[in-house]
């Protein structure tokens, strides 16, 4: 997974806010990730473990409501 952020969205922020921002974009701060910092922004890349990826044959079953 790869996510791009503007510089002002990351730098100068409380680490908890950055963790919440990462989680909202699907990045798990507890897992290893790569960060590339440029003048244009920050690119975060994280490999998603195969066992946590949904199967391509996965079909969600709707919940029954009575």
Residue 28 lies in a domain: yes
pTM, entire model: 0.65
Range of the domain at 41: 2-48
pLDDT confidence band for 26 (50 / 70 / 90): confident
In a domain, residue 16? The reply is yes
Q: What is the pLDDT of residue 11?
A: 87
* DSSP type of residue 11: T
Does the residue 62 lie in any domain?
no
Q: How many domains does the chain have?
A: 1
Q: Which residues are 44's β-sheet partners?
A: 3, 35
Q: How far apart are CA 39 and CA 6, in angstroms?
A: 9
* pLDDT tens sequence across 28-66: 888 899 999 998 899 999 987 666 655 566 666 666 665
Q: Does residue 55 fall inside a structural domain?
A: no
pLDDT band at 17 (very low <50, low <70, confident <90, very high): very high
């Amino acid at each position: 997974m790869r996510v791009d952020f503007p510089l002002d969205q990351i730098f100068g922020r409380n680490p908890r806010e950055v963790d919440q921002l990462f989680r909202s974009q699907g990045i798990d701060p507890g897992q290893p990730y790569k960060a590339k910092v440029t003048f244009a922004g920050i690119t975060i890349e994280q490999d998603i473990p195969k066992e946590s990826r949904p199967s391509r044959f996965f079909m969600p079953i709707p919940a029954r409501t009575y």
